[in-house]
């Protein structure tokens, strides 16, 4: 039985693709192993959203090859693993990955990478691996998704038996000027609502407690037919889908990522109406300056964003808001950056990822004048981080003494006597519990709050 080691970088879309690749591998007689050194084939599922993420591929290939040098030419695998590249770097760079890696490693003609599988070609991974195991080298598949692509993940291959990712839309049409994703993931394509609902029912029957509807922009969801949504009202197809998923009765529904321009207030109304639509929204603002937002081509102004924040805050549910912010976008002035600080003070995010702008090849922003120096990016990062950290801390501390419902997902990695899970507002909680089995939702009294985590004790 051939052994495969699979390593995943990037967003939930990559995690979800990896789960489906693992499902296919196991049902075709491969074994998934936990150590790269035990593997006949190593698959790297890559991300290229920032330069550092992309660089990771080349560093990892170097490390893997150093642990097991490639076999002499003509030997089939000869003890060293075959390496295949999947994901966004594979899709964007295709064949040129062989040359790039070869230049970096000097020597091997394939530079230590054996095959490349694009983001839509993952359904053909088995035949690609088989070709490589048969001795074929430098095989590249950047082709289209198969019509009969199987979206279902086997329970054993999910990151957690209790939480499942359900893709509802893939790709992105927005072309924000800094972003590579529309090039690596292609145009938006919504999955049929009836299929999504069938999948959620299936997951519920498998005892999954929480589903995450995922997509680069979930609220741009626009299926080609109404099937499955007929009896659900709503201002947009996405808010109708939310209501339909809620009615399946699955314990918890979360969704990510929401695109601010398409964030209709009716989404908040749906969350208000249904207990199982969770109180967490991830709404990446990117900047607090209208000048910068315009140059980013985000399609929203800061005023329209803040209106959405106000609507979310008007809910009776205490909805947590998280965000992404880019500092050092080309041309960002001190005044523009001050507007971002002001925005962060106003929004008091429960959490926010801050990124230094990273130029991506072929994107319009990479060619803009007035690129910002690394030192200014770092200064701005640190200044913004202070504000974000303050609101993050406050968002955790406000729960001290309260009792929150936590889905017990696993034994805590920090302390084997504790369980770890998430609240409905997507905060991590590590807690003491006796007789609680992973997979149950339990009331936990919160006793401490540290950096990114709440601590507590299960009640009863």
Residue 44 within binding range of ligand F3S, rule CB under 6 A: no
The binder of ligand SAH chosen from 219, 257, 420, 430 (CB under 6 A): 257
Q: Yes or no: say if 18 and 6 are a contact pair by the CB < 8 Å rule.
A: yes
Q: Is 74 left (phi over 0), alpha (psi -120 to 50) or beta?
A: left
How does DSSP assign 345-410, residue by residue? HHH--SEEEEEE----TT-GGGG-S-PPPHHHHHHHHHHHHHHHHHHHHHHHHTTTT-EEEEEEEE
What are the beta bridge partners of residue 211?
164, 253
Please count the residues of the chain. Answer: 460
Integer CA distances (angstroms), 115 to 35, 44, 99, 344, in order: 20, 11, 12, 44
Q: Report the residue number, 94 or 265, with the smaller CB distance to ligand F3S.
A: 94
Nearest to 246 by CA among 283, 196, 313: 196
Q: Which does 358 bind (CB under 5 to 8 A by kind): ligand F3S, ligand SF4, ligand SAH, none?
A: ligand SAH
Integer CA distances (angstroms), 397 to 315, 446, 450, in order: 21, 9, 9
Q: Which residue has the tokens 């070869």?
A: 102
Which tokens belong to 183?
Answer: 């090039």
The binder of ligand SF4 chosen from 65, 120, 162, 174 (CB under 6 A): 174
Q: Which listed range, 93-101, 146-154, 177-185, 362-370, lies at the site for ligand SF4 (CB under 6 A)?
A: 177-185
CB of 413 to ligand SAH, least distance (A): 25
Which tokens belong to 262?
Answer: 């398409």
Residue 255 within binding range of ligand SAH, rule CB under 6 A: no
CB of 266 to ligand F3S, least distance (A): 27
The binder of ligand SF4 chosen from 175, 233, 275, 452 (CB under 6 A): 175
CB atoms within 10 A of CB 192: 16
The binder of ligand SAH chosen from 357, 407, 446, 449 (CB under 6 A): 357
Residue 91 within binding range of ligand SF4, rule CB under 6 A: no
Site string for ligand SF4, 120-159 (x = CB under 6 A): ----------------------------------------
The binder of ligand F3S chosen from 36, 105, 184, 248 (CB under 6 A): 184
The binder of ligand F3S chosen from 22, 25, 39, 47 (CB under 6 A): 47
The binder of ligand F3S chosen from 4, 6, 11, 271 (CB under 6 A): 11
Which tokens belong to 278?
Answer: 């969770």
Q: Is 161 left (phi over 0), alpha (psi -120 to 50) or beta?
A: alpha
Site string for ligand F3S, 12-31 (x = CB under 6 A): -xx-----------------
Residue 89 within binding range of ligand SAH, rule CB under 6 A: no
Q: Which does 105 bind (CB under 5 to 8 A by kind): ligand SAH, ligand SF4, ligand F3S, none?
A: none
Q: Yes or no: say if 28 and 158 are a contact pair by the CB < 8 Å rule.
A: no
Q: Report the residue number, 122 or 444, with the smaller CB distance to ligand F3S.
A: 122
Q: Which listed range, 177-185, 307-315, 421-429, 447-455, lies at the site for ligand SAH (CB under 6 A)?
A: 177-185
Residue 185 within binding range of ligand F3S, rule CB under 6 A: yes
CB of 263 to ligand SAH, least distance (A): 11
The binder of ligand SAH chosen from 44, 49, 213, 271 (CB under 6 A): 49
- The span from the CA of 45 to the CA of 84, in Å, is 9
Residue 326 within binding range of ligand SAH, rule CB under 6 A: yes
What are the beta bridge partners of residue 165?
212
Q: 262-291: which residues touch ligand SAH (CB under 6 A)?
A: 284, 286
Q: Report the residue number, 179 or 319, with the smaller CB distance to ligand SF4.
A: 179
Q: Which does 47 bind (CB under 5 to 8 A by kind): ligand F3S, ligand SAH, ligand SF4, none?
A: ligand F3S
Say what the alpha-carbon torsion angle 195, 200, 205, 208 is, to the nearest 10 degrees.
Answer: 150
Which tokens belong to 138?
Answer: 């430098």
Integer CA distances (angstroms), 159 to 133, 385, 429, in order: 27, 30, 18
Q: Report the residue number, 175 or 353, with the smaller CB distance to ligand SF4.
A: 175
Q: Which listed range, 22-30, 126-134, 226-234, 351-359, lies at the site for ligand SAH (CB under 6 A)?
A: 351-359
Question: At CA 13, angle to CA 61 and CA 299, rounded to 5?
Answer: 115
Q: Yes or no: say if 260 and 298 are a contact pair by the CB < 8 Å rule.
A: yes
Residue 270 within binding range of ligand SF4, rule CB under 6 A: no
- The span from the CA of 427 to the CA of 123, in Å, is 34
CB of 66 to ligand SAH, least distance (A): 30
CB of 187 to ligand SF4, least distance (A): 11
* Helix (H) / strand (E) containing 326: strand 320-327
Residues forming contacts to ligand SF4 in the complex (CB under 6 A) are 172, 174-176, 179, 181-182, 216-217, 259
Which residues are at the interface with ligand SAH (CB under 6 A)?
A: 49-50, 178-179, 181, 216-217, 257, 259, 284, 286, 324, 326, 355, 357-358, 360
């Amino acid at each position: 039985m051939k052994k495969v080691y699979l390593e995943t970088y990037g967003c939930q879309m990559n995690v979800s693709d990896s789960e489906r690749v693992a499902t296919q591998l196991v049902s075709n007689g491969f074994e998934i192993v936990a150590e790269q050194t035990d593997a006949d084939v190593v698959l790297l599922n890559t991300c290229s959203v920032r330069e550092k993420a992309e660089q990771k591929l080349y560093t990892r290939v170097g490390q893997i090859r150093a642990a097991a040098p490639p076999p002499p030419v003509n030997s089939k695998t000869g003890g060293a693993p075959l390496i295949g590249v999947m994901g966004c770097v594979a899709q964007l760079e295709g064949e040129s990955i062989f040359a790039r890696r070869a230049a970096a490693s000097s020597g091997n003609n394939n530079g230590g990478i054996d095959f490349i599988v694009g983001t839509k070609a993952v359904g053909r991974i088995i035949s690609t691996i088989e070709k490589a195991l048969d001795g074929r080298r430098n095989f590249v598949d950047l082709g289209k998704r198969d019509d009969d692509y199987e979206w279902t993940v086997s329970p054993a291959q999910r990151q957690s038996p209790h939480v499942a990712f359900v893709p509802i839309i893939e790709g992105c049409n927005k072309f924000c000027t800094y972003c590579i994703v529309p090039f690596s993931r292609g145009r938006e394509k919504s999955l049929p609502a009836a299929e999504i609902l069938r999948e959620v029912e299936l997951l519920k029957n498998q005892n999954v407690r929480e589903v995450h509807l995922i997509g680069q922009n979930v609220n741009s969801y626009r299926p080609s037919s109404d099937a499955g949504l007929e009896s659900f009202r709503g201002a947009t197809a996405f808010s109708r889908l939310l209501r339909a998923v809620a009615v399946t009765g699955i314990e918890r529904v979360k969704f990510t990522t929401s695109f601010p321009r398409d964030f209709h207030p009716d989404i908040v109304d749906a969350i208000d109406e249904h207990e199982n639509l969770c109180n967490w929204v991830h709404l990446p603002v990117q900047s607090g300056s209208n000048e910068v937002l315009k140059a980013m081509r985000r399609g929203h102004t800061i005023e329209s964003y803040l209106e959405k924040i106000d609507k979310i805050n008007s809910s009776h549910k205490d909805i947590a808001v998280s965000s992404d912010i880019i500092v050092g976008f080309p041309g960002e002035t001190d005044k523009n950056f001050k507007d971002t600080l002001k925005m962060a003070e106003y929004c008091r995010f429960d959490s926010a990822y801050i990124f230094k702008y990273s130029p991506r090849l072929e994107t319009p922003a990479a060619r803009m004048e007035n690129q910002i120096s690394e030192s200014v990016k770092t200064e701005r990062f640190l200044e913004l981080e202070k504000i974000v950290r303050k609101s993050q801390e406050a968002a955790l501390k406000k729960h001290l003494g309260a009792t929150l419902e936590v889905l017990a997902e696993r034994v805590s990695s920090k302390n084997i006597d504790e369980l770890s899970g998430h609240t409905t507002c997507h905060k991590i909680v590590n807690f003491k519990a006796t007789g609680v089995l992973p997979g149950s939702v339990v009331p936990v009294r919160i006793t401490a709050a540290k950096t990114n985590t709440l601590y507590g004790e299960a009640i009863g």
